[in-house]
Amino acid sequence: MDLDDLRRVVDGRWAHVRGIVRREVPAEWCRPAVDTDPALLRAETLKRARALAATGLPRRGFAKAYGGEDDIGGSLTAFEMLGLVDLNLMVKAGVQWGLFGAALQALGTSSHHERYLPSMMTLDLPGCFAMTETGHGSDVQSLRTTATYDPAREEFVVSTTDDEARKDYIGNAAVDGRVAVVFAQLVTGGESQGVHALVVPIRDEAGRPCPGVRIEDCGLKGGLNGVDNGRLWFDGVRVPREALLDRYGQVAADGTYSSPIENRSRRFFTMLGALVRGRVSVGGAAAGAAQVALAIAVEHGESRRQFARPGTDGEVTVLDYLTHQRRLLPALATSYALHFAQGELVSDLHDVQTGGTTDDERQRELESRAAGLKAISTWHATATIQTCREACGGAGYLAVNRLVGLKADSDVFTTFEGDNTVLMQLVARSMLTSYRDHVGDLDTLGTVRFLAEQVKETLLERTSARGLVDRLATAAPGRDEDANLLDREWQRELFAWRESHVVAGLARRLRRVSTSDGAAAFEAVNRVQAHSLRAAHAHVHRLVLEAFVAAIDNCTSDATRALLSRACDLYVLSEVEADRGWFLEHGRLTPAGSKAVGRAVDDLCRELRPHARTLVAGLGVPPAWLGAELAGSAQPSRSST
């Protein structure tokens, strides 16, 4: 087996950045901490963040003019790698450079960049991203904090209107943050212009709250206690007019408001779209945490023995049991699939954001893909880490073996940077918009036209896309009883057919509702939310499959191609098995075909079992980074603070 080729394919476009992170990050950071005092954990996390800043890695995603490297893809890759190391550090870094820093760069203009970016990159200026409020999380447009312009003093007055408007769960707020990018309703001349962002000092150099700012610690959490989450209230805090991050909305000295984007709703979503990197980072880091858990569990399964093996004097290795293989190997195959999809997303986002041109449609597609992949990846991480914990038995419940720490620290990933259920509804809405734009009629030809456009736009016109669309046009329920389950084109057609069928059905259910009747429209949308989630699920998994296929095509070694092909088969058929009730209901699988899928998953698990360690090694997690006693790693770390 050519492990170098496998690692080349897995490491992808930013392999050099992955190499830098592997060299720069000490294995000590990967080990579970013995100290559980939140104050000690926070101090250690800040110390590590400063050490990370000293490597220069956090600079990669910022403009060269201010000391960065204009390497958005490299920056996102580095954040992803921190998911293998220390999730406290990853979140702390994500707040500082992925949210606070990204907001300064994306929403500010040159004066803000010159003033804040250099010290933000070095962590000399620790900051917060103050968007979420106690009463409003996903509904950002309805935030209650206000920033009212006072033309007599050329200042904004930032106010928390009630306790529901307090900024909540804000990373860096409880202890370390000195300034915050605060999202508030901008009011000038007595008129609200919608949500905008301002730079607001929250602490002085001595660490004391600034006048009018009240800060409260969120306290002990279920995980990530090395991150100082806090709450912020603003009691008429005055900041100069220049504090407004004014790329998308400007206020003149006399209070006149102007914007390069006239439509208020479009302006709002353009602003949020500029901050998509945080969502991408969370999905990548969650996938990395799942990879670590799988590496630990596979190593345990290879070494743990239980019950006598007939005909020998030895015992059976746990991973030789098919039930154990079924717990771990489909999840390992899915981790490969999500990793390749993440790599494509990062690459495309980098190209769009550094290309010097604005393509609104392409940007919206990337935002939708980022939302869906973040949801699928974080759900996968939550389920996989729990499975790995159980697969390691009592040893998996010991803190020294890291799995319970990974579980606690990653659990919140399903709800921050966007609640997963809400994000999947956004994906479905994007799909419906595309369907409406490309189809018009809900006939078979219209559905095929819709899929053709999706294939063209999201698969980068891969050579086999046309054949897939042609096959879809002639596909009919009930024809899959004799299908070759390992035929790649059949797999792609099945995923594409599921997607197009579900979205067409969703469109039909909504088409009868008059958009002029708001109450009826809400009720209709509310009734089809489960259908919307299924449509988004089908869409994201089709994209993930296509990314896996592209990665296989990139192999130069026949052995690597064969191994990844079998892993791809296991990912596909595990997904079909999980959803076979739907395929049976819609005639794409017969009962006999459904049973064949289950047998094929068994066969693939047995076939991949001898390659489990190779697949783990291919993911590129250094053995010293496993940080688990049962995986042969060193003892847990103790805070040196």
Q: Give the right CATH number for 127-262 from 2.40.110.10, 2.60.40.10, 1.10.260.40, 3.30.70.2750.
A: 2.40.110.10
Please state, in angstroms and rounded to a whole number, the distance separating the CA atoms of residues 179 and 201: 4
Q: How many CB atoms lie within 10 A of CB 139?
A: 10
Please state, in angstroms and rounded to a whole number, the distance separating the CA atoms of residues 376 and 364: 19
* Residue 611 DSSP code: G
Domain boundaries, the chain: 3-122, 127-262, 277-480+487-624
Please state, in angstroms and rounded to a whole number, the distance separating the CA atoms of residues 469 and 463: 12
Find where tokens 């920056």 sit. 75
Question: Who's near 319: CB < 8 A, 6+ residues apart?
Answer: 298, 301, 302, 325, 328, 609, 612
Amino acid at 103: A
Q: In the predicted model, is pLDDT for residue 529 greater than 90?
A: no
- Tens digits of residue pLDDT in 490-509: 999 999 999 999 988 888 88
CATH classification code of 277-480+487-624: 1.20.140.10
Q: Look over the chain and give the mean of its residue pLDDT values, rounded to a whole number.
A: 89
Please state, in angstroms and rounded to a whole number, the distance separating the CA atoms of residues 235 and 423: 33
Contact 133, 167 (CB under 8 A): yes
Contact 302, 319 (CB under 8 A): yes
DSSP string, 269-321: HHHHHTTTHHHHHHHHHHHHHHHHHHHHHHHHHHH-EEEEPTTSSSEEEGGGS
Residue 311 pLDDT:
79
Q: What is the mean pLDDT of residues 303-314?
A: 83
Q: Is 585 a catalytic residue?
A: no
CA distances from 358 to 28, 111, 448, 597 (A): 43, 22, 29, 45
- Catalytic residue selected from 133, 344, 417, 629: 417
* Residue 309 DSSP code: P
The gap between the terminal CA atoms of the chain, to the nearest Å, is 44
Q: Which residue blocks in 397-487 are alpha helix, DSSP H?
A: 403-410, 420-438, 444-458, 465-474
Please state, in angstroms and rounded to a whole number, the distance separating the CA atoms of residues 246 and 240: 13
Q: What is the mean pLDDT of residues 276-287?
A: 93
Find where tokens 């769960």 sit. 169
Q: In the predicted model, is pLDDT for residue 634 greater than 60?
A: no
Strands, E, within 274-324: which ranges? 305-308, 315-317
How many residues can be counted in the chain? 641
Amino acid at 619: L
Q: In the predicted model, is pLDDT for residue 411 greater than 70?
A: yes
Q: What is the mean pLDDT of residues 389-407?
A: 95
Please state, in angstroms and rounded to a whole number, the distance separating the CA atoms of residues 179 and 198: 10
Range of weakest confidence among 74-78, 473-477, 479-483, 621-625: 473-477
Q: What is the mean pLDDT of residues 531-536?
A: 93
Please state, in angstroms and rounded to a whole number, the distance separating the CA atoms of residues 529 and 513: 15
Question: Who's near 98: CB < 8 A, 6+ residues apart?
Answer: 79, 277, 278, 281
Residue 457 pLDDT:
45
Q: In the predicted model, is pLDDT for residue 442 greater than 60?
A: no
CA distances from 166 to 82, 143, 229, 637 (A): 30, 10, 13, 36
Residue 265 pLDDT:
87
Sign of the dihedral defined by the CA atoms of residues 93, 94, 98, 103, in that order: negative
Q: Which of 265, 138, 239, 229 is nearest to 182 (CA)?
A: 239
Q: In the predicted model, is pLDDT for residue 449 greater than 70?
A: no
Q: What is the mean pLDDT of residues 320-332?
A: 97
Contact 195, 156 (CB under 8 A): no
Element (DSSP H or E) covering residue 192: strand 191-201
> Structure tokens of 430?
């994007």
CATH classification code of 3-122: 1.10.540.10
Q: In the predicted model, is pLDDT for residue 103 greater than 50?
A: yes
Find where tokens 């190593």 sit. 299
Contact 250, 257 (CB under 8 A): yes
Q: What is the mean pLDDT of residues 111-127?
A: 97
Q: What is the mean pLDDT of residues 415-444?
A: 78
3-state DSSP percent of the chain in helix, strand and coil, to 5: 60, 10, 25
Report the relative pairing of strands 179-188 and 127-130 from DSSP bridges: parallel
Please state, in angstroms and rounded to a whole number, the distance separating the CA atoms of residues 444 and 453: 14
Residue 270 pLDDT:
85
> Structure tokens of 569?
């088969």
Residue 364 pLDDT:
86
Q: What is the mean pLDDT of residues 93-118?
A: 96
